[in-house]
Structure 1
């Protein structure tokens, strides 16, 4: 008699794991509360799905145990997933920092995962809410909106709480808690910042403007684009630092990440001595941003030659050390990932199995492993799903 495996969640981790297990001959059913498979995949990367990264290491992940992800990432690497993508002749391209995106559409990745599931005769129960789980002698009894489901093994791939509009819920954490599996407190990650007034009122006029910056706190820094929005700050640099930000903490924005004082900035001032400072700086920064910095009294509206050497350096320091305390983040509504989740102390890094509850597994974003922006969270989904599937004989 076939072993029955039920996977809760039809996202990246759930679909990939289902296809692998189905092709190994198991009786696999995937339950999901949505009416469509891979909803978050379809939304990702502006509809192009940043499905992995050419450079994947443990340092690209946030977890209370930073070593936990190493085993899975090693056993199913980015190269393994790229090989699968190539088998399906999906066209893709590389963007900055090794990010890989579909040429056509994220639908290509979803279609690939569905075909992998079809090869393994995986069954789907869509538009189905999981309401409760009871452990039984030989597995679990699931109470769902479509009735009871008996299963020998249960894999939780419900994701986090980011993007609740896509139907993301806390059910994965509730199941863990039911079986006394600890949860690392969750919060939104890879998420835009909101700003306090009156700073917001001034900076919101820059909505839509992007600028290359290096943004940092006391622990880490990221050099990427910052995007001004009508709610605050966004763009890759901000999303990255948000995962490392604590409420009330200051961030430092370097508006001139590629300019050294002696070799670049000072010569720029010297060669534009008779210009207004505003026009001079507009050669290296968006003009509207310079206007706003003057409006904030952050820099003065003067002629370049009126600045003595000390004032020139003070100006450079200001532009490279703009300190802001965000009001908060936009929360789960726009977050790309959920930080925290099922504690890695309670799971096997080799199989993703719960240490204290037989036949129960957790994979993907529901686990306390969150990646940087750039395809890392998808790679964790593929790798953790593979680790789990390989443990089934």
Structure 2
């Protein structure tokens, strides 16, 4: 019967990283995935260029029932560590906005790099076959005919099921007595109800805003869609939004208080729609002016009404009726409870030899490379303990 030091289930970002590092530490590693190819999510990320990390990575940019859990792994394997690996493989990269690092070429370069690292560690990779039954007895895990004293769950969350994502990690964890924090879609477009259909008619219009959900606020672009709201700012707040709660949009974050009254004094004959169109797309400016019911020239509007319009434009409420779900979610919030895992090693406290890493765990990053950095860091942390 084949013998390994560790069997890793899932050949995504976290699984590939963990396998490569453990293999290079002299461990005999078997990496299994039901998909036909490794790293499928890596390949589609960042528009095919892979937003592989973020230079502003910090624990406060991750959501978890235990906000302290990610600190250890993120401190020990940093964005610079992964960037050093990228540069050792001579992969050209560039920084976009907000610290996001992308390949100049193709996301395939990141997958090939990880496969090269696995080859250096003599990792055995098997793809395109069902994982099958997993049993545990006498301190050893058996997967089919293969067995090892260590098993790593790296099968991800339930986002993007068309890529083969399933709830395997959660079912498996529960089988071994680990708690699971309710999984829900994150970094996902939000949908609007029929009474806000007017905004859905702005489909395709995008503008820079500050979007807020609770105490979280993100200054990026929002996009109106035929179903509701999307764009980076909306995807970010979707991770903090809960059903039944509103989100608020500041359509003019660069404007200082009193700007409308000042515009009235300098351009009394202009209308609110024209004043808004100085900054916003025409269709959006028109819709907002109509919704505010202020069609007259500014000279004919009381300062009080203009101040009220400013306040509404700075915190425009939307009450989403849902999201576009796991099918459109970039990641999953929730997952295997960090209360049952060691933050140093990712090992299950109650089941020695069982580890969980990456998106399968209840740690979810912001948009912009943070979730890949968690995959690299958690995979590296587990590999140190295998």
Could you tell me the TM-score, scaled by structure 1's length? 0.95
Q: How does 1:241-390 map to 2 (within 5 A)?
A: 241-262=237-258, 264-295=259-290, 297-390=291-384
Q: 1:32 corresponds to which residue?
A: 33
1:160-207 per-position Cα deviation (integer Å, ceiling 9, x unaligned): 00000100111111111111011111101111100000313x222221
Tell me the matched-pair count.
385
After superposition, the C-alpha distances for 1:139-171 in whole angstroms (9 at most, x for unaligned) are 11124xxxx332231111001000001001111
1:129 paired residue number: 130
Q: Distance in 2 between matches of 1:64 and 1:330?
A: 23
1:153 to 150, 160, 163: 150
Equivalent position SS for 1:368: coil
Q: Distance in 2 between matches of 1:266 and 1:85?
A: 53
Q: Which runs of 4+ in 1 moved over 4 A?
A: none
Shift of 1:279: 1.9
Q: For 2:200, which of 200, 204, 215 is the aligned residue? A: 204
Query: Which stretches in structure 1 are left out of the alignment for 5+ residues?
Result: none
Matching of residue 217 in structure 1 with residue 239 in structure 2: no
Gaps of 5+ in 2: none
Q: Which moved more, 1:264-273 or 1:228-237?
A: 264-273
1:374 positional shift: 1.2
Give the deviation of 1:130 after TM superposition. Answer: 2.1
> What secondary structure does 2:181 align onto?
strand
Q: 1:312-364 CA distances to partner (integer Å, 9 max, x unpaired)? A: 21121121121110010111001011111111111111111111112111010
- Partner SS state of residue 188, structure 2: coil
Pairwise mapping of residues 172-191 of structure 1 onto structure 2 (< 5 A)? 172-191=169-188
| 8 Å contact from structure 2 (residues 4, 147) kept in 1 | no
Partners of 1:77 and 1:92 lie apart in 2 by 17
Aligned equivalents of 1:10, 1:140: Cα separation in 2: 18
Contact 2:4 2:30 in 1 (8 A): no
Are the counterparts in 2 of residues 2 and 26 from structure 1 also a CA contact under 8 Å? no
* Number of the residue aligned with 2:116: 115
Q: Aligned in 2, Cα 1:89/1:292: closer, same or farther, shift over 3 Å?
A: same
Secondary structure in structure 2 of the residue aligned to 1:181: coil
Task: Name the residue aligned to 2:45.
Answer: 44
Q: Is residue 86 from structure 1 mapped to residue 90 from structure 2 by the alignment?
A: no
CA RMSD in angstroms comes to: 1.5
State the TM-score, normalizing by the size of structure 2: 0.96
- The answer to whether the 8 Å contact 2:270/2:297 transfers is yes
Q: Which residue of 2 aligns with 1:70?
A: 71
Q: Secondary structure at the match of 1:302?
A: coil
**Higher deviation after alignment, 132-141 or 184-193:** 132-141
Aligned counterparts of 2:215 and 2:273: Cα–Cα separation in 1: 33
Partners of 1:272 and 1:280 within 8 A in 2: no
1:49-75: per-residue Cα shift (whole Å, max 9, x none)? 111111111100000111110000111
Pair 1:338–1:301, CA change in 2 (3 A): same
What's the secondary structure of 2:19's corresponding residue? helix
